[in-house]
């Protein structure tokens, strides 16, 4: 009998240190994080990997986080996406919510804030 798979979380952020920190944190909480340095890299793997959630940076080098979220939702509308940004301008959270984000985190954020958004014990 196969063991149940761990929830797989995509981390899409061009900041290597943040992506690495989030990967370690999520592994400690029993999740299977997969990091991507760009929206394009995430979307290239999106069809072949089954994700339970995506943590998406808003400001990415080519495609924005909103553009990547819209593309992912075109394939899988039920994918929960948490948008992260260090540049929270007025109205940004509302735009992300309208595009389908389930939550919005302003960087830097506490690990407890992320755990709360993911409904994980802190």
The answer to whether residue 79 sits within a structural domain is yes
In a domain, 1, yes or no: no
pLDDT one-digit tens code per residue, 3-55: 568 899 999 999 999 999 999 999 999 999 999 999 999 999 998 999 999 99
Structural domain tally of the chain?
Answer: 1
Task: Supply 64's token pair.
Answer: 């924005």
Q: Considering the domain boundaries, does residue 70 fall inside one?
A: yes
Q: Which pTM does this prediction carry?
A: 0.93
Query: Which residue carries 């299977």 as its tokens?
Result: 32
Closest of 31, 50, 32, 72 to residue 83, by C-alpha: 72
From residue 58, alpha-carbon distances to 14, 27, 53, 96, 111 in Å are 10, 23, 15, 9, 19
**pLDDT of 122 over the 70 cut:** no
In a domain, 122, yes or no: no
Q: Residue 64: which of 47, 87, 46, 32 has the closest Cα?
A: 87
CATH of the domain at 112: 3.40.50.2300
- What is the extent of the structural domain holding 106? 8-116
């Amino acid at each position: 009998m196969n063991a149940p798979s761990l929830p797989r979380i995509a981390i899409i952020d061009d900041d290597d240190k943040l992506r690495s920190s989030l990967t370690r944190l999520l592994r400690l909480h029993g999740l299977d994080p997969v990091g991507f340095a760009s929206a394009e890299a995430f979307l290239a793997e999106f069809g072949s990997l089954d994700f339970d959630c995506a943590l998406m940076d808003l400001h990415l080098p080519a495609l924005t986080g909103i553009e990547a979220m819209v593309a992912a939702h075109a394939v899988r509308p039920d994918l929960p996406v948490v948008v992260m940004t260090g540049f929270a301008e007025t109205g940004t959270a509302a735009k992300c919510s309208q595009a389908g984000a389930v939550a919005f985190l302003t960087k830097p954020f506490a690990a407890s804030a992320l755990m709360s958004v993911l409904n994980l014990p802190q």
